[in-house]
Amino acid sequence: MDNQELLKSVKEKALVWLTEQYDETTRNEVKQMLEAEDPTLLIESFYKDLEFGTGGLRGIMGAGTNRMNIYTVGAATQGLANYLKEAFPDMPQISVVVGHDVRNNSRKFAEIVANIFSANGIKAYLFDSFRPTPELSFAIRHLGCQSGVNITASHNPKEYNGYKAYWADGAQIIAPHDVNIINNVEKIKNVSEIKFKGNPDLIEIIGDKMDQDYLDAIKTLSLSPEINKKYSDLKIVYTPIHGTGVKLIPESLKNYGFTNIIHVPEQDVPSGDFPTVDSPNPENASAMAMAVAKAKEVGADLVVASDPDADRIGCVIRDTNGEYVLVNGNQIVMILLNYLMNRNAELGRLTGKEYIVKTIVTTETIKSIADANNIRMYDCYTGFKWIAAVIRDNEGVNRYLGGGEESYGFLAEEFARDKDSVSAISLMAECLAWAKDKGMSFMEMLQDIYVKYGFSREEGISVVRPGKTGAEEIVAMMKGFRANPPKELGGSPVIIKKDYSDLNKTDLRDGKVEKMDFPTTSNVLQFFTADGTKVSIRPSGTEPKIKFYIEVHGKMADKSQYYAATEAAIAKIDVIKKELGI
C-alpha cells in the first residue's frame, strides 16, 4: 500500500468516528486530525487496530482504532464477553474481576469494562480503587471467576494505557483464547453492538477483604520468619513510583517482620502523571534516584521499588565500597531463585519434585544453579503467561519454587499467576536478612553466587522504531538477521542458531537441525557462541521496539575478582553491540 492509498484508507476509517455513535469529545479530536496539514497523527491513530500482544492491548491514549479509548476498550470487552459466553455455555453465572492502576483514565476504563460485562449478563467484581496487577490474578482464582481484566500500561510512559485480559487460571490469555477473543472483537463492526449500559445488580465492589486474603497468602511464602525477626530493624527504603504498590507492599514487609520501612513521600502520591520521574520504570536508574538519595540520607541496607501496577520489582544494594548500585533483572531472578532453592534445601523441604522456570532470554547462570541443586528448570517464552502455562501443566504433580524473567519480573507463588512485586519485594528483604545471618552483605551474597556457579553479565538494548514505518523497519531487521546470521560475536564463533519462528535449532558447525519443544512459534532469534555468549533478538509484543539481549560469561575464582570480571564483560558486550549494529 503506497502513501496515498494508506491516507485514503485511514480517512475512511476516521470518518466513521465522526458519526453520532461516538461522543462529542472523540468527534472533535478526530475532526482536528482530519483537518490538520500534517497527516502523521491521523495515520498513527487509524492505520491499524490495537491487537493482543504479550500483555494484551497497549497503546497511547486518544481517539482512533490504534489508540486506547472507550471504544477500543469497549470492543475488546464486548468481544471477550461474547467469547466467555461461548466458552462457558452451561455456566449459570459467568463472573470476572476488573481492576486498574493509577493511570489517567484507568478508573474510567475499568468502570466501562465492568458495565459492559454486566450488560452482557456477566457478574463483574470491580475493585473499589487501584490495586496491584498480581492481586487481580489472585482474585480471579480466589473468587472462582472465569476471566479478568486489568486496565494498566505497566511501566510505559504516562501517555499510554493498556488492557490485560486473564483467564480462569489467573494467567494472561494464551492460545486458543487470545485468537478466539480477537476473532470475536473483529466481528464487531459497529459501535452499536457494544453494550455500554451496565446492570448495577451484576457489579460487586471488592477491596479490603481481598487485600487481607492476598496478604495472608503472601505471608505463607516466608521461609525464614525467625531470621526476619532477628533482623527486623533492617533499613529498607521503598518507593511505589506513584503507583499501586503503596497500598500493599509496606504492609507485606511488615507482615514479614520488617519494621523499619522508609518511604519516599513525594513518590507515595498516586498519580498517572508520574511527576517526579521521566519514566516510571524501575529498570532505569533515574526512576530510582529519589529512593537512592533517601537511602544515602538514612544509610539504608536495601532499596526496593515497584512499577505503576506493582508487578515489576526494582532493587538497589550497597557494593563493597558502600556505594548504592542497581541490581539488574537477571540478577534479581538469580538472587531470589538461589535463595528459594538453597533455603528449601536447608529446611529439608526438597523432595525431588521441585522445579523453577525462566524465560529463554533470561540468564543461563540460573540453569547452572538449578543443575547444582538437582532441581528441574523449564525455559519458556518471554511473558509471564508462559511461566503460568508451565505452572498449570505441573499443577498437582510437581512443586513450583519460583520463576522470573530478565525484565524485572518474579513470581514466587502458585496462588497468583502473574509477576508479583508484592511477594518478590517481601522475599528480597527476607533474602537480605538470610544473607546477614550468614555474615554476608547482599553484594557478597551475589558475588558468592558467581564464584560458585560462574560469572555472567547481561545487557538488554531496546531499539525504538515508532509508527508504521518503524514497524516495517523492525520486520526488515529480523529478516536481515535470519538471512545473514553473525558468524562471530565478541571474538567467539557462533555455533548454534535457534529460530523460534519455525522452532528449528541449527548447529552451524555441521548444519544439523533439531526441532525445539515449545507450545507454539514465536518471532525470536538466538545465537550461541563457543564461549557461552548468548544473543537473543525479538520484537516487543507491546511496544514499538526491537529488543536485543546480550549475555556473556566469565570466571571468578574468588569474590575479589568481581569488578575485574564485570569490567571485562562490559567491554565484550560493547564489542558485540557494534558487531550487531546497535
Task: Answer whether 316's CB lies under 8 Å from 288's CB.
Answer: yes
Does one domain contain both 441 and 465?
A: no
- Residue 574 corresponds to which cell in the numbers above? 560493547
Q: Summarize the confidence of residues 279-295 as an average pLDDT.
A: 96
What stretches of 231-357 show up as alpha helix (H) in DSSP? 249-255, 289-298, 329-346
Calpha distance 388→338 (Å, rounded) = 20
Distances (CA, A) of 128 to 110, 133, 268: 10, 14, 19
Q: What is the DSSP string of 33-63?
A: HHH-S--HHHHHHHSS----BTTBEEEEBSS
Q: Summarize the confidence of residues 280-292 as an average pLDDT.
A: 96
Does one domain contain both 460 and 447?
A: no
Q: How confident is the model at residue 189 (pLDDT cuts 50, 70, 90)?
A: confident
Q: The domain spanning residue 381 has which CATH number?
A: 3.40.120.10
Does one domain contain both 63 and 130?
A: yes
Residue 13 resides in a domain: no
Does one domain contain both 240 and 337?
A: yes
SS3 string of 344-368? HHHCCCCCCCEEEEEECCCCCHHHH
Assess whether pLDDT exceeds 70 at residue 53: no
State the pLDDT at residue 448: 97
Q: Render the burial of 86-102: b for 16+ CB within 10 Å, e for the rest.
A: ebbeeeeebbbbbbbbb
Query: Of 147, 180, 213, which residue is a domain's last?
Result: 213
Query: Of 186, 213, 240, which residue is a domain's last?
Result: 213
Going by the DSSP 8-state scheme, the letter that residue 65 receives in this structure is T
Q: How confident is the model at residue 57 (pLDDT cuts 50, 70, 90)?
A: confident
Q: How confident is the model at residue 323 (pLDDT cuts 50, 70, 90)?
A: very high
Does one domain contain both 250 and 139?
A: no
State the pLDDT at residue 207: 98
- The number of distinct structural domains making up the chain is 3
Calpha distance 470→438 (Å, rounded) = 51
206-224 pLDDT, tens digit each: 999 999 999 999 999 999 9
To which residue does cell 539481549 refer? 549
Residue 35 resides in a domain: no
To which residue does cell 544473543 refer? 535
State the pLDDT at residue 228: 98
Does one domain contain both 441 and 524?
A: no
Q: Render the burial of 522-534: b for 16+ CB within 10 Å, e for the rest.
A: bebbbbbbeeebb
Q: Which contiguous run of DSSP H or E holds residue 322? A: none
Pairing of the two strands 513-515 and 488-489? unpaired
Show which residues are catalytic.
Answer: 154
State the pLDDT at residue 426: 98
226-279 pLDDT, tens digit each: 999 999 999 999 999 999 999 999 999 999 999 999 999 999 999 999 999 999
Q: How confident is the model at residue 469 (pLDDT cuts 50, 70, 90)?
A: confident
State the pLDDT at residue 82: 97
Average pLDDT, the chain: 96
Calpha distance 42→3 (Å, rounded) = 13
Please state the pTM of the whole predicted model. 0.95
- Least confident segment among 76-85, 445-454, 533-542, 565-574: 533-542
Q: Which contiguous run of DSSP H or E holds residue 325? A: strand 324-327
Task: Answer whether 441's CB lies under 8 Å from 349's CB.
Answer: no
Residue 64 resides in a domain: yes
- As a whole-number percent, the residues of the chain with pLDDT over 90 amount to 92
Q: Which contiguous run of DSSP H or E holds residue 183? A: helix 177-186
Tell me which residue of 241, 202, 289 sits closest to 101, measured CA to CA: 241
Q: What is the DSSP string of 406-443?
A: TTTEEE--SS--S--HHHHHHHHHHHHHHHHHTT--HH
Task: Answer whether 309's CB lies under 8 Å from 101's CB.
Answer: yes
Does one domain contain both 427 and 475?
A: no
- Residue type at 74? G
- Residue 270 corresponds to which cell in the numbers above? 498516586
State the pLDDT at residue 542: 64
Does one domain contain both 460 and 436?
A: no
Does one domain contain both 389 and 256?
A: yes
Q: How confident is the model at residue 544 (pLDDT cuts 50, 70, 90)?
A: confident
Query: Of 453, 476, 501, which residue is a domain's last?
Result: 453
Q: Summarize the confidence of residues 198-210 as an average pLDDT.
A: 98
State the pLDDT at residue 11: 95
State the pLDDT at residue 175: 87
Task: Answer whether 251's CB lies under 8 Å from 215's CB.
Answer: yes
State the pLDDT at residue 271: 98
Assess whether pLDDT exceeds 90 at residue 186: no
Assess whether pLDDT exceeds 70 at residue 142: yes
Q: The domain spanning residue 557 has which CATH number?
A: 3.30.310
Q: Cβ neighbours of residue 524 under 8 Å, at least 6 residues apart?
A: 360, 361, 381, 382, 498, 499, 500, 501, 536, 537, 538
DSSP helix/strand/coil, 301? coil
Task: Answer whether 198's CB lies under 8 Å from 235's CB.
Answer: no
Assess whether pLDDT exceeds 70 at residue 491: yes
Does one domain contain both 460 and 449?
A: no
Residue 532 belongs to domain spanning: 455-580
Assess whether pLDDT exceeds 90 at residue 24: yes
Cis amide linkage into residue 176, ω under 30° from 0: yes
Q: What is the DSSP string of 470-511?
A: HHHHHHHHHHHHHHS--SEETTEEEEEEEETTTTEEEETTT-
Residue 236 resides in a domain: yes
Does one domain contain both 403 and 460?
A: no
Residue 33 resides in a domain: no
Residue 140 resides in a domain: yes
Calpha distance 557→451 (Å, rounded) = 6
Residue 335 resides in a domain: yes
Residue 218 resides in a domain: no
State the pLDDT at residue 468: 78
Q: Summarize the confidence of residues 152-159 as an average pLDDT.
A: 92
Does one domain contain both 141 and 261?
A: no
Question: How many Cα atoms sit within 13 Å of 578 on the Cβ side?
Answer: 7
Q: Summarize the confidence of residues 472-489 as an average pLDDT.
A: 94
